[in-house]
Structure formats: structure tokens, C-alpha cells
Amino acid sequence: MKFIVLPLILLMLFTTCKTKKSEYMKISGFAQGTTYHITYENTTGVDYSQAIDSILKDFNKSCSIYDSTSIISRINNNDPTVEADDWFIDVFNKSVEVNATSGGAFDITVGPVVNAWGFGSTPVMRHDTAYIDSLLQFVGMEKVKLEKRKIIKKYPGVKLDVNALAQGYSTDVVCDFFKSKGIRNYLVEIGGEVRGKGTNAKNNYWHVGIDKPSEDNSAPGEKLQAIIELNNKSLSTSGNYRAFWVENGVKYSHEIDPKTGFPARNTLLSSSVICDDCITADAYATAFMVLGVDKSKELLHKLPGVDVYFVYTNSKGEYEVFFTDGLKKMIIEQEK
């Protein structure tokens, strides 16, 4: 689904001559196999770095497939005693919603296939057609359901992977924490998934950069495709230009099509999604990468409040961009 080590989005804070009275605090750390960077208005002088670090560690215990003791790992290992917590239930329900809306392009049961292609929690790769076909019997949201706090699987071999929306949701979780503390101005970024509220220390809305989706752009922020202004919105970007490998001259992306079991093959290079909450942005950024440009445009008609910025290649192999009217108003700068 999605394997992120380096953030796809560079946080950029721009300044003007207007200065707020309150100081802003910046904190950073590691969570979910990636980094996080958070800036918030420190009106009370309270350092929330330890509290946030604790929240993210607890979140890993719910949704991280890289923690063998997490709820999702215990579900995957068919532990009969495991029960879902509120975080996992939210992630599962959003997964069901996006799976249905996207016609199956987004599917958290694709875990066994992701592992087979070397993008999951196990290092062993085996992706011959016969083996992939044998795994598809375990793929499909109809093979798993939630009853109260129990996940019921049709087959023991069904394994879940929520990496395609967990980082986005953890971003929302931290934002909910700030809301509970009465903090009204903040920018939260976890693994490249971003949500901003209010303004920065110079009274500007938050600005974030979308990386240019080129294979030589290995350092986040080194080459920018566009700079976007976030006004109480979330932004998530998914792309096929960093998490991939090449075998016999063929490029294999981490964006797996749940219907075929093979990496999605289309012209879309990166999908940036802006909407109110980051879990939704994160999930649809992945779904659009699987669907490709044309099918994604069709789906957008069913998604009010969702704006996108797509970078893709045309028939000549040249870069082109598509963005919705709503996102056009947010663009501060973009590469010509």
C-alpha cells in the first residue's frame, strides 16, 4: 500500500513583518518507522513533547505492524483474546469507507501481497505470478469484519496492513490532543502527512512544499513541485518515486493494486490530497495512485471537500499536472 521512510512533504514556514506575542515551540522525534515535526503556539509555556511522544508510542501499540505486540500484529497472528481499541476501530471503519468509495482500490487486507513484494514487515520477497495468485484468496475487505471490538476474519491467512492511513490518522490524533489543551495554532507533520490549524508565529497561514516526483529527488524539500497554503486543512502525498526497486529493467512501485496483486501501472507519479482530516487525505492519496489519473478524476465527483494536485506523465513521457479548482486557490508557487 504505502511504505514511507522519508517524508514526501517539506514543511516551510514563511515570515512577514507581523509578529505574534506568543512564542511557538518546535518538537521532533521518531514514530512509526519515520520522523515527526510539530510546531505549536506555546501560550501557557507548557512543553508537550513528552506527552506527544507517549501518545505516538501508544498509537504504535494499536496500529503498527512493526510491533509484534501491537493490536494489529496480534490480529494478524490470530490471537483469539485481542480486542480493538478506539484508534484501531476508527482506522478500520475509515478503511471500509474508502474501500467502498474507491471500488476496492484501497484495501488494508493487501498485507500478504505487500510483504511478497518486499514492502512490508518481512524482508523475504517472492512475487512470481503463481505465488501472488495464491495470496489473492486472502485479499478483499469482504473477508474481514468488525463485531463490537473483535475482528472476524474469513480465513486465518488474512492479514491487515494499515500503513496507508495510520500515519495520517496519528497526525489527527496529535491535533485532537492540541484541541483538548486549547491550542489553536499548530502544524503537525508525521512521516510527511501534514495538518495545519490557525497561523504560524508571523501570522501567516501554514505553507508546505510538495516534492517534485523525480527519482533523483531523494532528499525531501530539495526539489519542490509546488508550495501550498493550508488554512485549517490536511495534506497527504503518495508517490512511486522513492519506495520502489528495479528488477531486470522493470520498475516495481510500492503502490500495490489489490485486484491484481501487482504494483499499479499507470502514469500517475504523485498524488497530493487536501481535505479536513489527515486520515482521509492519506487514504485517498494511496487510492488515487492505484486508480491512475482518469479514474481518480471520475472518483473526485463523488468526494465533496476533497482537493488534489496530481503529477503524471503524458504520452511523450513529459511531466504534466492536474489540480482541482479548490486547490488552485491554495497554490502559492509551482514549478512551470
What residue type is assigned to position 324 of the chain? T
DSSP character at residue 32: T
| 106 touches 290 (CB < 8 A) | yes
* pTM, to two decimals: 0.88
130 Cβ contact partners less than 8 Å away, ≥ 6 residues apart: none
User: Cβ–Cβ contacts within 10 Å for residue 298, how many?
Assistant: 11
pLDDT digits (tens, 9 = 90+) for 95-154: 999 999 999 999 999 988 887 877 665 555 666 788 889 999 999 999 999 999 999 999
Domains of the chain and any CATH numbers: 1-336 (3.10.520.10)
Residue 336's pLDDT is 58
pLDDT digits (tens, 9 = 90+) for 59-101: 999 999 889 999 999 999 999 999 999 999 999 999 999 999 9
Better pLDDT: 246 or 302: 302
Q: Which three cell numbers stand for residue 278?
A: 489527515
| 292 touches 266 (CB < 8 A) | yes
pLDDT digits (tens, 9 = 90+) for 150-187: 999 999 999 999 999 999 999 999 999 999 999 999 99
Q: What integer is the mean pLDDT of 280-304?
A: 96
